[in-house]
């Protein structure tokens, strides 16, 4: 499927942070997506389209951590090295950063959950979203399902996403769920340069 970029399009990169790339909750082979992600960034910047980057921005006592009853190791604590965007990610000063998971009592997988992402997209008159990042089976999926629920045309960037795969078929099941909900799977070579 070939897709050309329009004035109603935005790129959303989900949680490409140190802890998910190489740190305490590293997604297997996460760094393999960086070259694709950087190509998407370059493509959207060249077309003067906005780039959003979501990040987990947890307080030290976040409820998703095992020691506070959650299922995850401690990760992405605000202002720590683990919470920073991965060093090889070529974000620019124009990138719009969306912080999520800031409420200690509430997990937030989606970039829309408890943030002003939807409001910012509406203010920019965005109607189509191109979404990839970490991890396919958690925060990418949640962000895509929310985007669809807000009636955005939503593209899943398959080559710019990796899954945790706590269970072996998690990635396949997540992709299937996103596509059933209306997401459109594309890769970099589907974009009309």
Catalytic residues: 15, 100, 139
Closest CA to 127 of 99, 150, 101: 150
Does residue 88 contact residue 33 with C-beta atoms inside 8 Å?
no
- Of the candidates 7, 86, 82, 78, which has an alpha carbon nearest to the alpha carbon of residue 53? 86
Nearest to 77 by CA among 25, 142, 139: 25
Count the neighbouring beta carbons within 10 Å of the beta carbon of residue 21.
Answer: 24
């Amino acid at each position: 499927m070939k897709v050309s970029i329009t004035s109603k399009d935005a790129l959303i990169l989900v949680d490409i942070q140190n802890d998910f790339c190489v740190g305490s909750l590293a997604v297997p082979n996460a760094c393999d997506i960086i070259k694709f992600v950087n190509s998407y960034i370059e493509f959207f910047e060249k077309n003067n389209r906005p780039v959003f980057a979501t990040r987990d921005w947890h307080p030290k006592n976040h409820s998703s951590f095992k020691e506070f009853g959650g299922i995850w190791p401690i990760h992405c604590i605000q202002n720590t090295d683990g919470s920073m965007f991965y060093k090889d990610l070529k974000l620019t000063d124009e990138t719009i950063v969306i912080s999520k998971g800031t409420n200690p009592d509430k997990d937030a997988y989606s970039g829309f959950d408890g943030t002003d992402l939807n409001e910012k997209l509406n203010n920019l008159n965005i109607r189509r979203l191109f979404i990839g990042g970490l991890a396919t089976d958690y925060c990418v999926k949640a962000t895509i399902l929310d985007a669809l629920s807000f009636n955005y045309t939503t593209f899943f960037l398959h080559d710019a996403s990796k899954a945790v795969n706590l269970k072996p078929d998690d990635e396949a099941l997540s992709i299937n769920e996103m596509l059933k909900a209306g997401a459109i799977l594309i890769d970099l070579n589907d974009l009309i340069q």
